[in-house]
Structure 1
Amino acid sequence: MSKLLANALLFQLGWFACVLGGDSPWLLVVAGVLAVHLLWVSSWAAEGKLLLSVFLAGSALDSFLLNLGVYDFGAPRQLIPLWLALLWPLLATTLNHCLAWTAQPWWRASLLGAIGAPLSYYGGAQLAGVGLPLGTAQTLALLAVIWAAVMPVLHGFAKLYRAQYEQSLRSRQSA
């Protein structure tokens, strides 16, 4: 099995573990997915900064949207649940691999973000019982606009960290 296919399948496995398992021991599947990714598909040295940056930025974005009333998890909260936050590093694992083709030209990433992300959020909300207080159509339209900008930015993170990693490899080889 190619690493690109493995990357896509691992992402989907992690996505379902998060969305169907919620904040439960099923999140251990996500830890396993991330470990397999970092041990077989890539490495911590190559993508650790990317996974952490996307986790933090994405969690902040979704927590901001939660506080704006875009999501309803059934109880008052300021931060998104862990299962939703863990979807972000899972997404980051795909940027240099199965979704790398969307990085250039930039509009591919925007198009994928505008279409794929709202569908993913909608499916996840349906499976996880997350309410969309603004209404489905309004929420999906808002997410489409946001994600048309988010995906190129995420690819920018990936490109920056990839260049830093490659530079560090060159520096070590020439030393």
Structure 2
Amino acid sequence: MKYDFWINQGLFQLSWPACVVGASAGVAGWTGTSVVAAMALWQLHPRRRHPSDWRMIFLCLGIGFLLDSLWVQAGLLAYAMPWPSTQFAPFWILLLWLAMALVLNHSMSVFKGRLLLIGILGGIGSPMSYFAGSRFGAVEWLAPAWQVVLATGLSWALLLPALFWLADRPGRRHDGKTSDQSLSRSATS
């Protein structure tokens, strides 16, 4: 349904200010959690859930924890509201990764066939997002700007296409059809 797209994308767009602005105000624990929980409850309902949603959630949370913890460990970034530890990616960043996982197969699935485009957009958009977060006070750039831009831009330029590619993998067969298509055909035969 068309409204499923808009609810998914709307909650995704709300997740960034709820987490980032919430972190700068010290309230991301409830603002970010509220928005992303609503998104998860909505999107993971059996009627709307994609077969690979859970796999992408665990994958995004793992990658997000490692990548954003790497920025902290490398001395590139420091996060406001660094709960549970100043040495690792904070909880509110992981909420953003969860929100990302919930759009891969839904409102942003159009990028599954446009991996180069999403790589370019990720390479440009991620440093801008970290910069905007720094302007709100949720992230502090500890290294020279060119290092932060290069590290975040390059990592996201590679990571986003990989995530969209992986989101498209479950159920694929060698003949190009999905297992779901084959099951529905055999059920109607």
TM-score in terms of structure 2 length = 0.78
Rounded Cα–Cα distance in structure 1 between residues aligned with 2:22 and 2:94? 13
Alpha-carbon deviation of 1:41? 7.7
2:30 to 25, 30, 38: 25
Letter in 1 for 2:58: L
Letter in 1 for 2:57: L
Structure 1 vs Structure 2: percent identity of aligned residues?
A: 26
Are 1:60 and 2:66 an aligned pair?
yes
8 Å contact from structure 1 (residues 47, 161) kept in 2: no
Instruction: Spell out the pairing of 1:96-135 with structure 2 (5 A cutoff).
Output: 96-135=105-144
Rounded Cα–Cα distance in structure 1 between residues aligned with 2:95 and 2:104? 15
Rounded Cα–Cα distance in structure 1 between residues aligned with 2:47 and 2:129? 24
Rounded Cα–Cα distance in structure 2 between residues aligned with 1:144 and 1:36? 31
8 Å contact from structure 1 (residues 50, 161) kept in 2: no
Alpha-carbon deviation of 1:173? 7.8
**Which position in structure 2 is the counterpart of 1:7?**
8
Rounded Cα–Cα distance in structure 1 between residues aligned with 2:64 and 2:79? 17
Superposition RMSD in Å: 2.7
**Which position in structure 2 is the counterpart of 1:77?**
86
Instruction: Spell out the pairing of 1:127-166 with structure 2 (5 A cutoff).
Output: 127-161=136-170, 163=172
Which consecutive aligned stretches of 4+ in structure 1 deviate over 3 angstroms post-superposition? 161-164, 168-175
Which segment is superposed worse, 17-26 or 47-56?
17-26
**Which position in structure 1 is the counterpart of 2:41?**
35
**Which position in structure 1 is the counterpart of 2:179?**
167
SS in 1 for 2:69: helix
Taking a change above 3 Å as real, the CA distance of residues 129 and 89 of structure 1, as seen in their structure-2 partners, is closer
Give a deviation string over 1:20-56, Cα, whole Å, max 9, x none.
Answer: 2234222232211211122288317441111121111
Alpha-carbon deviation of 1:128? 3.8
Gap regions ≥5 residues in structure 1: none
Taking a change above 3 Å as real, the CA distance of residues 100 and 28 of structure 1, as seen in their structure-2 partners, is same
TM-score in terms of structure 1 length = 0.83
How many matched pairs? 174
Which segment is superposed worse, 118-127 or 55-64?
118-127
Letter in 2 for 1:80: A
